[in-house]
Amino acid sequence: MPESPNGAATPASIVRALKALAGNPPNARASFAKGWCVRGTYTPSDRAGDVTRSRSFTRPSRVLARFSVGGGNPEVTDTDRHELRGLSLRLGSEPNRSDILVQSAPVYFARTPEQLLAFLTAHIPGPDGRPDDAKVAAFSAANPETLNQANYVAARRRPGSFAATTYWGVHAFPATSLHGETRFIKFKIAPVGDDITPAGPEAATKPADLPHHDLNARIAKGDVRFNVMALLDRPGDPVMDVTTRWPDEDSREEVRLGTIVITGSEPSQICDAAIFDPANLADGIGHPPDEIFAVRRTAYAISLAKRR
């Protein structure tokens, strides 16, 4: 059972539930199990210091990154429209390294660790390989905010390229500028150029691994560039609830912190040797205050230990 003995949600019980949901594949990440390791460079903008004094964002650096497909199944198809895409970034070098994890939806699917564990438990397949539809429906009705992510994904066509997808951070990070001002920000990693979304009939004819091949082709041409954006908070923004977007989030003020250029591929082992640790943040970017971030910090380390 995924629950802990006292019934409370713990990072370990959540990792067990994530693995059970995916069918317990061996030696795989608990989430975003399928991915591709790449390298690149980061160049800061002249406005980065107005948002954060973090040397991860105010100085040029090498970048290690991983594009991925959501879920714990390493055999999922690249084009599965029900799964998110993910991007993990490592900027800077010790002791000024930061790991940033973003995904192709601006909200998470649970607000608290208890809700997260209950969501996963309700969706774990039974002996027939399918979840109990009645249990899922009952949970969703009692927890409507857990549908926000799925509704966002369902309302949009899947971008046709990992390199042309906008990736969002769901957490609100306290950022302290070079001037000593602290405010909350959300990260958005936006492709330089428009998102590429194939039309319906065209998308249906694309091979399942096309996004991966497309990524390799774009890297070879030097055509994978992202702007690292900081969305700036306003008074009253819900910084504790990762299932909810900030009001007018798509049209509010944002600052370009810098630009990432992906320059080559790396063997999977380079990214798999450790974790992209969301708690690893250089001075100038603080830990978000929400409960989900707190549990993810420990869960990532537990997942790595299980892979090993």
The CATH number assigned to the domain with range 11-307 reads: 2.40.180.10
Residue type (1 letter), 153: V
pLDDT at position 1: 34
Whole-number pLDDT of residue 65: 98
Q: With 0-12 CB in 10 A as exposed, 13-18 as middle and 19+ as buried, what is 96?
A: middle
CB 285 within 8 Å of CB 53: no
Distance in angstroms (rounded) separating the CA atoms of residues 190 and 227: 5
CA atoms lying within 13 Å on the CB side of residue 100: 27
Residue 89 phi, psi dihedral angles, 5° rounding: -130, 140
Three-state SS at 122: helix
Give me 281's structure tokens. Answer: 């943040």
| 66-97 residue pLDDT tens | 999 999 999 998 877 778 999 999 999 888 99
Measured CA to CA, the distance from residue 101 to residue 84 in angstroms comes to 13
How far apart CA 132 and CA 74 sit, in angstroms, is 23
The model's pTM is 0.91
3-state secondary structure of 42: strand
Burial tier of 253 (Cβ tally within 10 Å: 0-12, 13-18, 19+): exposed
Residues in the chain: 308
pLDDT single digits (tens) 191-212: 997 545 444 444 444 555 667 7
Contacts of residue 201, Cβ cutoff 8 Å, sequence gap at least 6? none
- Residues lower than pLDDT 50 in the chain: 1-6, 195, 197-205
